[in-house]
Every structure is written in structure tokens, then in C-alpha cells.
């Protein structure tokens, strides 16, 4: 009896290891899934031809508005080639592991650009340290070697052990996707190959949303918004939720989280010469009142470290205009174009002339 049980255990361990702990399954995962989007971004960047070291890579979430095509068409003016692996919903914890994946030797780039929503790093209800979906973004990139750190960066004890189980038994994370794959394996493989061959071009040519909020008025004191009649009700609700959601008292949780993950990224690139450039993204369609600076925020504390550059937090204030936003947080096409050009010029200024 025991030999049979052990044989079954060995079979399933081998099946789990070969299918889910190698690149085999992640290469045919549903491209439109959380893990699939992440893998597409990472694999495209890994495959991207880099002719020199004058490469600038942006990480970030959906508010990282860099359009590489716009600034690369002006490369003679900057001398640097820009790329991005931003992905909506990702966090600094995800960015660290994403950078480790695309830059395993920590020497592929002249600079890494990292966004901040707010240099004051106020707490909010959705604590980034507890975002379980980080595991889903990264499952294909996490190995057993990461068991010593990744799970314990979550604070909730139950969540910690859920993450441990998911990292060891990756099939528990892939389960729903794997069942979908078994229903139509040929179609899935064809779709995965299609995305693998063509998606780099789609992302490079992406130009952002065409909508705008022209005519919008905000009363920050009374927390009211006057919308143009043409703005649909769903967009109005989203903008109000984004700009006027109630925040919990600031206890420094977000700053502690950022101090840890900014520190991990800094440590990863320490001594390599790669510059880490931090910026504050445009905050809203109309500039909110400036708050007193939180002097012990993570981004302000790291500003003095070698090869860390923290850009003026007012750099993109000029873009905080209804014409350049399509909702409460995100720039539209015109805003993204202007953001990209301002950022490229500032990167060129702080980095100096590219190396021959």
C-alpha cells in the first residue's frame, strides 16, 4: 500500500514540477489573464533588441503614462531608447520581481523609471502589502528560492501560508486556467503563439484613450465635481470614487511598505551604475491643494542614496488639466504624449549625454 501511495505522490510531484515549475505552462497560459498579461510584458522586453546600454526602462501601474514610440521617434534628440513594462494593478513588490526577470544581471539599463502616486505616501484601505493578486501576477516568475522572502512580505498570517501553498503547489493557482486549457487546447496554444509573436507591436503602438474631461470643474474644499453633460454616469462615479474616496488615518503603513520595496530595488542595482529615477505621476484633472511634505516618506528618504534620482514632484503639474485626462487618475492620448516628452527631456537632463 505505501509503495503505491508514494508512487502516486511522486507522480503528482513530477507532474507539478514539469508542468508548472518550468516555462512550459506559462508559455501557453491564457494571454488575457493576470499572469498572461504579466508574462507577455516580461517576455517581450526580454526579447527586445537592445543595441547599446543607453536603455531606459519604465516600470509601474496604469498611471505610468510613458509612450515609448513617441520618445523613441525623437531618439536623436535624447540619445536614449525607452521601453516600458508597466501593467495596470501592479505594485512595487511586483516591479521588483519583474525587474529581476528582465534584467537578471542588473546591467541592461542606464536607468529605471519608477512612478509614485504621491510623495506623501498616505495610507489607504487597500493596503498594497496585502494584495494577494501580486502572487497571480508573479506566479510564473517565483521559484522555491523565493519562499524565504516573498510570502513573509504579507502581514496577514493566513495570507502568508496561502501564498506559501501557491508557490509550492502552483497548480492551485493555475487550476481554473488549466481546466479552460483542457477544454480547447489547440485554440489556446494558437492564441498564445499569436500573442507571443504580435503583442510587442500592439503595446508599442498603443496611444492611450481619446476621451477627455474638458469642461470639468472641481471644488476641492467642498469635495464636489461639476461634470459636462456629455460625461456618462459610470465615468462620473469612477472619477468621484478616485478623487474623493475616504482615506484611513495615516499610520505609515504605505511608507513602510514602500521603504522595503524601494530598498529591495535599490539593493538589486547597487554598484551597477544603473540610475533609479522616481517621479510623481499627474494626480488629477485639476491640481489638488498641495499638502505639507511628509519628510520621512520613503521616496524622500532614499533621495540621498547613490544613483537614486527623485524628480521634482511638481514636474508634471502642468498636465493636471481636464483636456488631458479621461478619468480621475489617467491621462488620455494627448496627456500621455506630453508626459512622455517631458519625461524623456528630464531623463536626458539628469543622466547627461548617452555613452558612446
Asked whether residue 73 is domain-assigned, the answer is: yes
pLDDT (0 to 100) of residue 255: 95
230-262 per-residue burial string, b: 16 or more CB within 10 A, e: under 16: ebeeebeeebeeebeeeeeeeeebbbebbbebb
- Residue 356, domain member (yes or no): no
Alpha-carbon distance of 352 to 55, in angstroms, equals 13
Number of domains forming the structure of the chain: 1
For residue 11, the model assigns a pLDDT of 43
What would the grid cell of residue 118 be?
504621491
- Pull the grid cell for residue 231: 460625461
Inter-helix orientation angle 171-183/185-205, to 10°: 110
On the CB side of 232, how many CA atoms lie within 13 Å of its CA? 6
Neighbours of 11 (CB within 10 A): 10
Does 22 reside within a domain? yes
Q: In sequence order, what are the beta bridge partners of 277?
A: 113, 309
User: Residue 30 belongs to what domain range?
Assistant: 2-351
**pLDDT score recorded for residue 76:** 64
Domain holding 211: CATH number? 3.40.50.1110
* 245 occurs within a structural domain: yes
Coil, helix or strand at residue 224: strand
Q: What is the pTM (predicted TM-score) of this model?
A: 0.93
Query: What are the angstrom distances between the C-alpha of 356 and each of 52, 54, 79, 99, 110?
Result: 8, 9, 10, 25, 12
In a domain, residue 257? The reply is: yes
> Per residue in 24-52, is it b (16+ CB within 10 Å) or e — as a string?
ebbebbbbeebbbbbbbbbbbbeebeeee
Tens digit of each residue's pLDDT, the chain (356 residues): 656 555 444 445 554 555 566 777 888 899 999 999 999 999 999 999 998 899 999 999 999 999 999 999 876 666 899 999 999 999 999 999 999 999 999 999 999 999 999 999 998 888 889 999 999 999 999 999 999 999 999 999 999 999 999 999 888 888 898 889 889 999 999 999 999 998 999 899 898 999 999 999 999 998 999 999 899 988 889 989 889 888 888 888 999 999 999 999 999 999 999 999 999 999 999 999 988 999 999 999 999 999 999 999 999 999 999 999 999 999 999 999 999 999 999 999 999 988 87
Amino acid at each position: 500500500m505505501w509503495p503505491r501511495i508514494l508512487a502516486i505522490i511522486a507522480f503528482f510531484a513530477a507532474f507539478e514540477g514539469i508542468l508548472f515549475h518550468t516555462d512550459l505552462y506559462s508559455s501557453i497560459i491564457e494571454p488575457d489573464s493576470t499572469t498572461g498579461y504579466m508574462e507577455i510584458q516580461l517576455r517581450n522586453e526580454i526579447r527586445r533588441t537592445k543595441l547599446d546600454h543607453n536603455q531606459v526602462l519604465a516600470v509601474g501601474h496604469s498611471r505610468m503614462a510613458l509612450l515609448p514610440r513617441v520618445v523613441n521617434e525623437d531618439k536623436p534628440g535624447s540619445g536614449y531608447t525607452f521601453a516600458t513594462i508597466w501593467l495596470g494593478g501592479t505594485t512595487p513588490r511586483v516591479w521588483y520581481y519583474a525587474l529581476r526577470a528582465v534584467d537578471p544581471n542588473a546591467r541592461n539599463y542606464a536607468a529605471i523609471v519608477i512612478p509614485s502616486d504621491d510623495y506623501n505616501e498616505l495610507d489607504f484601505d487597500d493596503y498594497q502589502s496585502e494584495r494577494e493578486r501580486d502572487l497571480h501576477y508573479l506566479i510564473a516568475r517565483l521559484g522555491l528560492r523565493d519562499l524565504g522572502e516573498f510570502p513573509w512580505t504579507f502581514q496577514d498570517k493566513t495570507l502568508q501560508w496561502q501564498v506559501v501553498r501557491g508557490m509550492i503547489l502552483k497548480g492551485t493557482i493555475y487550476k481554473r486556467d488549466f481546466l479552460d486549457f483542457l477544454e480547447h487546447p489547440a485554440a489556446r496554444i494558437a492564441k498564445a503563439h499569436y500573442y507571443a509573436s504580435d503583442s510587442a507591436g500592439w503595446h508599442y503602438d498603443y496611444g492611450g484613450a481619446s476621451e477627455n474631461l474638458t469642461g470639468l470643474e472641481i471644488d476641492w474644499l467642498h469635495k464636489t465635481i461639476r461634470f459636462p453633460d456629455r460625461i456618462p454616469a459610470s465615468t462620473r462615479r469612477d472619477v468621484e470614487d478616485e478623487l474623493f474616496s475616504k482615506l484611513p488615518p495615516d499610520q505609515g503603513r504605505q511608507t513602510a511598505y514602500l521603504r522595503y520595496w524601494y530598498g529591495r530595488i535599490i539593493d538589486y542595482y547597487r554598484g551597477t551604475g544603473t540610475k533609479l529615477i522616481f517621479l510623481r505621476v499627474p494626480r488629477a484633472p485639476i491640481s489638488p491643494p498641495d499638502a505639507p511634505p511628509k519628510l520621512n516618506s520613503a521616496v524622500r528618504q532614499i533621495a540621498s542614496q547613490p544613483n537614486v534620482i527623485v524628480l521634482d514632484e511638481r514636474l508634471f503639474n502642468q498636465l493636471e488639466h481636464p483636456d488631458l485626462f479621461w478619468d480621475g487618475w489617467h491621462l488620455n492620448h494627448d496627456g500621455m504624449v506630453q508626459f512622455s516628452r517631458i519625461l524623456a527631456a528630464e531623463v536626458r537632463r539628469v543622466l547627461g549625454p548617452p555613452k558612446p
